[in-house]
């Protein structure tokens, strides 16, 4: 398995392409503004885009769905069965699906948005906006923040400490690092959960 990362400057989003080394089939995480670089990675390496996993359907994360479907024909996976008018395969918490010959474990962690999903492929966890390096996704109300942190603690912090985190914004991380240094969660332990 090989992971290509690309920083999309339009919405400051990290876009990831996970490639199965044996078949050169790939999964793309989210569809932010599409620029030439990610297309170049796909074309130059003769990658076959088989799956598109949506972490949540905020505009910045699905902006290029139309363009992607004009060029490629990947299966779309998301929490809802329709993303911006495109039919998706519905995935829910605990589901394990096979995409591009790779096993994808799905986690539904609402809080930042109702349809927020995280995906574990091998030992790489793609967290979207749910869990970022040192932060959690923005929430509009305290109850959503509580729900989000509870979901992260119960579903993600129970994964192996060496699991690598690939968030939609900012730098990479590991479960061990987030348990120790995630400021939003550390603060919430005092203000919400104490």
Binding site for another protein (CB under 8 A): 3, 5, 7, 12, 14, 123, 133-134, 160-162, 164, 170-174, 176-177, 180-181, 183
Minimal distance, residue 164 CB to another protein, in Å: 7
Q: Which is nearer to another protein, 23 or 123 (CB)?
A: 123
Q: Which is nearer to another protein, 154 or 160 (CB)?
A: 160
Minimal distance, residue 18 CB to another protein, in Å: 13
CA distance 31 to 13: 10
Minimal distance, residue 56 CB to another protein, in Å: 21
Q: Taking a C-beta distance cutoff of 8 angstroms, is the pair 95, 103 a contact? A: no
Q: Nearest to residue 178, comparing CAs of 14, 158, 119?
A: 158
Minimal distance, residue 26 CB to another protein, in Å: 16
Q: Which is nearer to another protein, 3 or 28 (CB)?
A: 3
- Based on the number of CB atoms within 10 Å of its own CB, is 155 exposed (0-12), middle (13-18) or buried (19 or more)? middle
CA distance 110 to 115: 6
Q: Which is nearer to another protein, 55 or 132 (CB)?
A: 132
Q: What angle do CA 96, 102, 103 make, to 5 degrees?
A: 20
């Amino acid at each position: 398995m090989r992971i290509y990362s690309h920083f999309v400057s339009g919405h400051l989003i990290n876009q990831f392409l996970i490639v199965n080394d044996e078949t050169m089939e790939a999964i793309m995480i989210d569809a932010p503004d599409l620029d030439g670089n990610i297309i170049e990675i796909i074309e130059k390496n003769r990658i076959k885009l088989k799956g598109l996993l949506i972490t949540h359907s905020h505009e910045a994360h699905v902006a290029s769905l139309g363009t992607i479907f004009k060029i490629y024909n990947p299966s779309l996976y998301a929490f809802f069965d329709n993303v911006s008018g495109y039919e998706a395969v519905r995935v829910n918490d605990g589901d394990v699906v096979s995409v591009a010959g790779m096993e994808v474990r799905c986690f539904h962690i609402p809080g930042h948005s109702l349809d927020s999903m995280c995906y574990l492929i091998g030992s790489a966890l793609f967290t979207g906006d749910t869990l970022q390096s040192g932060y959690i996704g923005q929430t509009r109300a305290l109850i959503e923040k509580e729900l989000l942190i509870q979901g992260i603690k119960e579903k993600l912090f129970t994964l192996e400490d060496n699991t690598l985190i690939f968030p939609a914004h900012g730098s990479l991380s590991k479960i061990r690092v987030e348990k120790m240094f995630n400021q939003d969660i550390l603060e919430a332990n005092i203000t919400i959960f104490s």
